[in-house]
Structure 1
Amino acid sequence: MIFALAVIFFLTIAPVYGKYYFEFTSSFEVGSLFAIDDPLSVGPEPTSTLIGNAQGLYVSSSRDHVMFTTVMYTNFTFRVAGSMGALSFYSQGVHLWTQIHELAIVGERGALRMARGFDLTQITFVNLTACNVILECNVTLYHY
């Protein structure tokens, strides 16, 4: 069975550690670690149907604060119609201002075990002052 799954979820970036080597005025200095633990929903509205949650880490890997670059690990856990499964995504060198980011699916659990695929993520809303970002995730998943 081959199917594609598209979800949009809210992402809140919370700084865990900052100001490592350089003195920038940005909160995204090299070495800064950000943690996420957010709901996965069908749409961007707060009232959208929840289908799971997203947890993960971002590490700022760029000395240039204008070209914010991260290494990212994210885990999507799905809880839809009583079935549970999880996908783990990994990406390196993601530039914040790039139109579409590609993430590789590197691990699976539960009902999604042995699945393969990728995620094309697009930023639909950014508020760096409040550290809020909304991402549209288009996941292509091959399940054997």
Structure 2
Amino acid sequence: MKSGIMSLIFALYLTVMVVTANSDSNYYGTTKPVHLKEEKVTRLHFYLHDILSGRNPSAVRIAHANLTGGADSAVGFGSLFAMDDPLTVGPGKDSKEIGNGRGMYVSGSKDIRKFTIVMYADLAFTTGKFNGSSISVFSRNPVAEEAGEREIGIVGGRGKFRMARGFVNIKTHQIDMKTGDAVLRYDATVYHY
């Protein structure tokens, strides 16, 4: 009788293992056709204030390479910054705040004359029609090209900008090369559903 119970327990164990193995063997669900809504294009215009100086900076260096300027260099090659920058309607400090840009950027060029950052940022809107929505950018930003506009890519979004793609033209409104403080005009073209 003991061997019969053991055989039954073993048979149940094998059944559970086969069922479990079969249910975990797929890493995907059913593929179904998607019926997307009509694609929309939204154009946004705002200013981002990236302030590194003072008692309440909106961006702070969180790491830097010891060989490329160290702590004395405002934007030395290899420096990594965390940002929580206000987004405003106009370029002034007292302009109406409409959101924030949160993320990170790294100084990605050795030559200060060709100063470039590589950035990831979630540009979130906290008021108005797009309250609770954001666009995500991940791109190279050639900051030294301040005479003209430069372009960064939109790689996604959330809320009303879910599945967003597009681009942002950035123009430097004001920059202090000693402190690294900058006010930037963002003109975004966002394709979304």
Alpha-carbon displacement from aligned partner over 1:38-86 (angstroms, at most 9, x marks no partner) = 1111001122121111112111122223322211111100122373101
Aligned equivalent of 1:87: 135
Write the letter of the residue equivalent to 1:88.
S
CA–CA distance in 2 between the matches of 1:104 and 1:78? Answer: 18
Write the letter of the residue equivalent to 2:136.
S
Aligned equivalent of 2:84: 37
Shift of 1:121: 0.6
Shift of 1:100: 1.6
TM-score by length of 2: 0.67
Q: Give unmatched runs, 5+ long, in structure 2.
A: 1-39, 53-59
TM-score by length of 1: 0.87
CA–CA distance in 2 between the matches of 1:55 and 1:30? Answer: 21
Aligned equivalent of 2:26: none
Aligned with 1:7 (options 25, 41, 46) = 46
The answer to which structure has the higher helix fraction is 2
CA–CA distance in 2 between the matches of 1:42 and 1:136? Answer: 10
- Find out whether 1:105 has 2:154 as its counterpart: yes
CA–CA distance in 1 between the matches of 2:191 and 2:50? Answer: 25
CA–CA distance in 1 between the matches of 2:144 and 2:111? Answer: 13
CA–CA distance in 2 between the matches of 1:70 and 1:62? Answer: 7
Structure 1 residues 19 and 114: alpha-carbon distance in aligned structure 2, compared to 1, 3 A threshold: closer
Aligned equivalent of 2:56: none
In the alignment of these two chains, the number of paired residues is 143
Shift of 1:141: 1.3
CA–CA distance in 1 between the matches of 2:79 and 2:126? Answer: 31
Q: Give unmatched runs, 5+ long, in structure 1.
A: none
CA–CA distance in 2 between the matches of 1:3 and 1:95? Answer: 24
CA–CA distance in 2 between the matches of 1:11 and 1:42? Answer: 15
Secondary structure, counterpart of 2:133 in structure 1? strand
CA–CA distance in 2 between the matches of 1:87 and 1:133? Answer: 21
Give me the CA root mean square deviation: 2.0
Pick the structure with greater CA Rg: 2
* CA contact 1:20–1:29 (8 Å) conserved in 2: no
Shift of 1:87: 0.8
Instruction: Compare relative contact order (CA 8 Å, sep 6+) and give the higher one, 1 or 2.
Output: 1
Deviates more, 1:105-114 or 1:26-35: 26-35
Write the letter of the residue equivalent to 1:45.
G
Write the letter of the residue equivalent to 1:8.
Y
Shift of 1:33: 0.8
Aligned with 1:51 (options 90, 98, 101) = 98
CA–CA distance in 1 between the matches of 2:86 and 2:65? Answer: 29
The answer to which structure has the higher strand fraction is 1
